[in-house]
Every structure is written in C-alpha cells, then in structure tokens.
Amino acid sequence: MVLAQLGGSISRALQQMSNATVIDEKVLNECLNEITRALLQSDVQFKLVRDMQTNIKKIVNLDDLAAGHNKRRIIQQAIFNELCKILDPGKPSFTPKKGKASVIMFVGLQGSGKTTTCTKYAFYHQKKGWKPALVCADTFRAGAFDQLKQNATKAKIPFYGSYMESDPVRIAAEGVERFKKENCDLIIVDTSGRHKQETALFEEMRQVAEATKPDLVIFVMDSSIGQAAFDQAQAFKKSVSVGAVIVTKMDGHAKGGGALSAVAATKSPVIFIGTGEHMDEFEVFDVKPFVSRLLGMGDWSGFMDKIHEVVPMDQQPELLQKLSEGNFTLRIMYEQFQNILKMGPIGQVFSMLPGFSAELMPKGREKESQAKIKRYMTMMDSMTNEELDSSNPKLMNESRMMRIARGSGRAVREVMEMLEEYKRLAKIWSKMKGLKIPKKGEMSALSRNMNA
C-alpha cells in the first residue's frame, strides 16, 4: 500500500467513526482496527502498530470524557500524535554549520540510491550557499566513481576518488583531508554498499568512519524494502552511529511504512526524502506536515510557505483574501485551473493541498490531469455568470446541467463529474475560512491552528 493510500485508509476510518451517532468503545475499536490493518498493509512493523494502538486507547479513555467533548477530534489528535511519535525520535540530528567543515558519511545497501542522494544532498546545500565536496569511497562497485564524477560534474561540485586505489579507507581519509584544506564546509563521503548486509560491509564502514571521524552518518534507505526496513536499519545502526535517515524513491509505488519502522529502529530522524531520479527531486522532511498530509489534513505551513515563494507579491493579497473568505465558487475554481495550466509554479502551491494533489493531479500523470482540467474549463465556459459566482450547490439543477453539456459538447455525466470535483475542492477550501494572512516565520503557529 503506497503512503497516499495509507493516508486515505486512515482518513476513511476516521470519517466512518465521525459518521457514527455515538462514539463508544465498539466504534473506537473498529476505527483503530481499521487503522491497524492499513498500517500493517503498508509494512509498518507489527510491534510499532500494536504499541500505537495501546497508547491511543490509554489516551482516549471514553468513560472519562464527559459529554460535550469532541471525541472525534481527541481521537484524531491522538492518532496524529502517535504517528508523529513513531516518526520523530525526539532528538534532532546533527546540523552542520555553514563555514565550518563538517564530514557527512553516507551508508546503505547497494541500489538504495546512496550515490544519487549524496549528490542531491550536496546540490541542495550548494544552492543555499554552502561549499560542498564529494568523496567516492566506494571501491567495491565498478563504475561507482564514474557515476559520482558524472553527477558531481553536472552540479559543479568538487569531487575526489580514484580508479587505481582499492582501499576505501585511504581514499576517504585523503579526500576529507584535501577538502578540509580547500575550506569546503560540507564534505560528503559516499561509502560502498553490498547486495545484502554482511560482515565485510560493516567492517569497511567502521574503518571509514574511524579514519574520517564523521560529524553525521546518514543511513540511506529505499522506501520499497518493506518489512525488512526495521532489521536493516537496526543492523546499520549497530555498526556505525547512524544519526539521520534519508528515505529514497518515495515517488514510486512502494509501500512507505517501512520508512516509519526504520526511524524507530535507528532512533534517528528522517531528514530528507528522495522523490525522483533528478538532482532536485529531494525534499526536506518535516514530521508534522508529513503526518498532516498523510491524514488528509493538508500541509498548511508548506502551503503558506509556497504561496510566499511562488505567487507574485502583488497577487498574494487577492489570493489570500479569497482563501480567507472561504467561499469557493466555480469561478474561483476556474481561475485556479487557469493558474495551474498557465503559471506552472502556482500549480505547485495547490499541489500541497490534499485534494488538489493526490486526486486531481497525481504525480506522473500530469498530461492526463491537464487534459481533464481543460475539459472542465470548457464546460465552465458554457456557464452563466450566476452559476459561476454562486456557491449554492442547489442552483445546479438538471436542466442547467443539460444546457451546459449541450453548450460544451460534453456528456451530462461529465458535467456531473466536474461538479463533484468542485464540491470536493470547495470542502477543502472551506477549511481555510478565517485564515489570517501570515508573514513569513509565522507559519508554524498557523499550521498548529489549522491542524488542531
């Protein structure tokens, strides 16, 4: 089960619970069983799921909750907190400081995406003004140095490695020394992987760590490894002091639950996720927005950040004003569709909202999504001003739908589908009613309010 589906299953379980007239022990148990099933199907380790269920039951003591308490909200909050707890080990990872040399060592199995991730990590920091450098201490895999060299050259990042030298410890030590002399502040050491965990790999890792004294060891894990994630992560942690995790291939159809388990195994936070093969398909990982998105609560802080980042200054107040009114008309939907098609970046803004991203614009099916949006717009072109500006769903009766279908040359069924899409988006939009326009830096407070 991919993570989006996991999120969907959890939200559905919560929804079913809130549809119940009375929330009693039976309803709560059904909801928790549903969530447990979804987590297990996503490859989250059994013990973690069981602990989570026990904890939620401890927190949500239905007998103690007086009438009038919003039980659904309390349960949802408990689930949110428990999922965050699994993903957040409670201590932040080492944070390198710009201008001061830090050595970052990458470890992981072969094929996990380690070499690609080293370059992504370097590239990400380079864009932020760091002076990164890459050292290829992978002498096990033929072609590893060439791959790193190619990536590094493309990103204009200095690199060090050798075709002749077969001792990874020596290369690592030489590379680190050289880049320290060159005043690089982020020296990234890519180590060898193996097809499976074995003594030789761990011994080599230990020696490289001893020679380079890394400030941070990052464990790179492929999100598709499933149930094996917990054991694999633990094995690496036992050999070197893993301080952070990067989960790769989150764009694929992998089950993502293993990643949650890996965090629990290493007790180290996930700091980035890889979302594609390209250098910039790399995202900072934050627990709370991630779990919010997972539960269909929307990534509000990311959303507001993106608005400030990509919407031209002069258009920000108007867009935020519309958001704060919470009155989502078909005309607003039309305008947002125009933005998505024309402006590109603003499409990214809306892709941060749960409804706009997963269902309307699934990743990898952009062409289809665009065709769908254009189809919807053609139908809306046949609408009257009254229809476009009304937020009364009852207005759209059968005869209006038939007229729109005729006018746009589409089937009535398609008009109905478009109106369903509108209702879905209006529901999401309505959550933003009363939104205060935050300045940069005020995002986390906003996020807390919106998620409460």
Applying CB under 6 A, the span of 3-11, 14-22, 103-111, 121-129 interacting with ligand GDP comes to 103-111
261 touches ligand GDP (CB under 6 A): no
113 touches ligand GDP (CB under 6 A): yes
**449 closest CA partner among 300, 313, 344, 311:** 300
249 touches ligand GDP (CB under 6 A): yes
CA distance linking residue 303 with residue 162, whole number of Å: 44
**CB 397, min distance to ligand GDP, A:** 47
Answer yes or no: are the C-beta atoms of 148 and 115 closer than 8 Å: yes
Q: Strand 242-248 and strand 186-191: pairing?
A: unpaired
CA distance linking residue 451 with residue 289, whole number of Å: 9
112 touches ligand GDP (CB under 6 A): yes
**CB 142, min distance to ligand GDP, A:** 12
275 touches ligand GDP (CB under 6 A): yes
Q: Which is nearer to ligand GDP, 366 or 381 (CB)?
A: 366
Which residues have a Cβ under 8 Å from the Cβ of 58 and sit 6 or more positions away? none
Helices (H) and strands (E) in the chain, counts: 21, 8
Binding mask 50-89 for ligand GDP (x = CB under 6 A): ----------------------------------------
Applying CB under 6 A, the span of 109-117, 309-317, 358-366, 390-398 interacting with ligand GDP comes to 109-117
Dihedral of CA atoms 188, 189, 190, 194 in degrees, nearest 10, equals -140
Tokens 């958001």, located at residue: 323
**254 closest CA partner among 287, 221, 281, 290:** 221
280 touches ligand GDP (CB under 6 A): no
Q: Which is nearer to ligand GDP, 276 or 298 (CB)?
A: 276
**401: how many CB neighbours lie within 10 A of its CB?**
18
277 touches ligand GDP (CB under 6 A): yes
301 touches ligand GDP (CB under 6 A): no
Among 7, 96, 158, 193, binds ligand GDP (CB under 6 A): 193
**CB 32, min distance to ligand GDP, A:** 32
Answer yes or no: are the C-beta atoms of 122 and 208 closer than 8 Å: no
Which residues bind to ligand GDP, rule: CB under 6 A? 108, 110-116, 193, 248-249, 251-252, 274-277
